[in-house]
Amino acid sequence: MKYLLKITFFFLLIPSLRAEEPQNKDWRESWENIGLLYKDENNPLIQKIHLHGRNQYQFGYVDGSANGNDFDYDTDEFRRMYGGATLNLLNSLEISGRANYFKDTHPKGGSDREFNFQNMWYLFGRIDVKDTLGVDGFDKLKIGYGARELAVSEEWNESSRRIKTVERSAISNKIWPFDSEYSNPTGIWIESSRDNVSTELGVFSSTQDDWLASWDDGHVVWGKAVFDVSENSKFDKTEVLLNGWYQDAEISEDRLGGGLEWATSAAVRITEGPLGIRFNGILGDNGDQTKAEREGSFWGFVVLPTYWLIDDKLEAVGRYQYQGSDNAQGIRLYSRYIRRADDALNIGLPNGGRGDEHHSFYTGLNYYISGNRMKIMAGIQYDDITSGGDDIYNGLSLFAAFRSYF
C-alpha cells in the first residue's frame, strides 16, 4: 500500500513538472489541461495519457427536531478526494481507473482524516467495437468490462463534478445501486449511439469488493437510454432520460442499493436561454428486508429549476423532492448531515430517519470560477419526514462547498 500511495503522489505531481506555459495564457485554460500528460492521435500505440483529480470540501449545519428533541449540529469535511488516470491505446482501447483515497470521520463526530486508499470508484477497460470491427449502422458502439458507476436517477446522470445542488435528493440516492462500502459494481456492458439516441445495457455482479468484484452472489441488469428531442421541441434543448435496474439476489447474499429489487426513472431536461428545468419521476420496490415495514413499493419525483443570474458565472438553483412508500419505513432521509448528526450527538432519530412520506425543499447559488472545474456552492434545505402521520424529523440544513477537478 505504501508503494501505491507513493505512485499516486508521483502522478499527481507530474503536471507541475511540465514545460512552463506561455505567460499570457489564462490560468483557467492551464487548469483545464493540467492533467493532460500526453496526446498524439498519430501514435499507433498510445494516443493519450490523462490524469484525473477531484477535491471537494464542504461545510454543513443542521437545525432540526427529531423525536421531540430540538438540536443543532455543524461539521466540515473533505467530501470527495479522487485520483486516477485514463489511457487511450491502439486507437480503440480505453483503460480508466479512479480511486477514493480519503476518509473523513468528522461528520460522525470523529477526529480522524485518513489519507489512504479506500476503494476504486471505477476501474474498467472499454473497446471501440465500431472502429475495430468495422460495424456499420452506429455512430458509436463500445463494449466495456470492470467496475463503474451506474446512473439511474436524473441527478445521478450528472457527475458530482457538475451537479447543481450540494447534495443529491434523498430518492435519487435511494435508487443508486451502490454496495455497503460505497463502491461501484463490476460487470459487462455495451454502449451505442445512433442519430439522437444513445443507450447502455449491462449485467453486473452484486458481490462487493474495493477493486474488481467476483460473481459469487446475485446479479443486476441495468439499462439507460437518452433521447435528444430538441429538433422536435420549441425549446433550445430537450432531452428525455430513461433508466432502470433489476436485482436477482437473496437476502443472505451481497446486494446493491440496500437490497432493492428494482427501480426505474423517467426524466426530462429542458433548457431555454438562461432557464433550465428538470423533471424526474421514480418508482421502485424495496425487495426483501430484515424488517417487513421496510419492504414494499416506493415512489417519488424531483423538480429542479435553474437560472443564470450572470451568464456562466452565477446560477440560482431550486429543488423540490417528494417520496412516499407503502410501508411505514419504506423511505429514508438521505440529507448528508441529518443522519450523521444522529451518529455524532445521539439525538434519537426515530427509525434511523425512515418513514413513509418525505418532502424536501432546496434553494441555492453556484458561483463558477472556471466552469464546473472550479466553483463555489451554497444552499439551504428544508426536510419533513413522517411515518403513519407521526413526525420523524423536520428542520433546516445549510451547505457551503468548494468543488474542483482536473
Digit-coded pLDDT (tens) for 177-194? 988 777 899 999 999 999
Question: Is residue 226 within a helix (H) or strand (E), and if so which, with residue range?
Answer: strand 219-228
Whether the pLDDT of residue 134 is over 90: the answer is no
d(CA 46, CA 29): 24
| Residue-level pLDDT at 3 | 37
Q: Is residue 18 included in any domain, yes or no? A: no
Total-model pTM: 0.88
Q: Is residue 195 included in any domain, yes or no? A: yes
| Better-scored residue on pLDDT, 111 or 84 | 84
| Residue-level pLDDT at 12 | 40
Whether the pLDDT of residue 21 is over 70: the answer is no
Backbone CA torsion sign across 227, 162, 164, 392: positive
Mean pLDDT comparison of 24-28, 98-102, 324-328, highest-scoring range: 324-328
With bands split at pLDDT 50, 70 and 90, how would you rate the model's confidence at 98? very high
Q: Is residue 106 included in any domain, yes or no? A: no
Average pLDDT over residues 103-107: 83
Write out the residue range of the structural domain in which residue 262 sits: 54-79+132-405
All cell numbers assigned to 197: 439516441
Q: Is residue 87 included in any domain, yes or no? A: no
Average pLDDT over residues 164-173: 97
Whether the pLDDT of residue 34 is over 80: the answer is yes
With bands split at pLDDT 50, 70 and 90, how would you rate the model's confidence at 105? confident
Q: Is residue 23 included in any domain, yes or no? A: no
Q: Is residue 94 included in any domain, yes or no? A: no
Q: Is residue 171 included in any domain, yes or no? A: yes
d(CA 333, CA 387): 12
| Residue-level pLDDT at 179 | 82
Q: Is residue 246 included in any domain, yes or no? A: yes
| Residue-level pLDDT at 25 | 55
Whether the pLDDT of residue 62 is over 90: the answer is yes
| Residue-level pLDDT at 13 | 40
Domain of 364, CATH number, reads 2.40.160.10
CB half-sphere exposure, 34, CA atoms < 13 A: 21
Number of domains the chain is built from: 1
| Better-scored residue on pLDDT, 241 or 27 | 241
All cell numbers assigned to 48: 493519450
d(CA 388, CA 393): 13
**Can you say how many angstroms the Cα of residue 2 is from the centroid of all Cα atoms in its chain?**
29
| Better-scored residue on pLDDT, 178 or 196 | 196
Whether the pLDDT of residue 9 is over 90: the answer is no
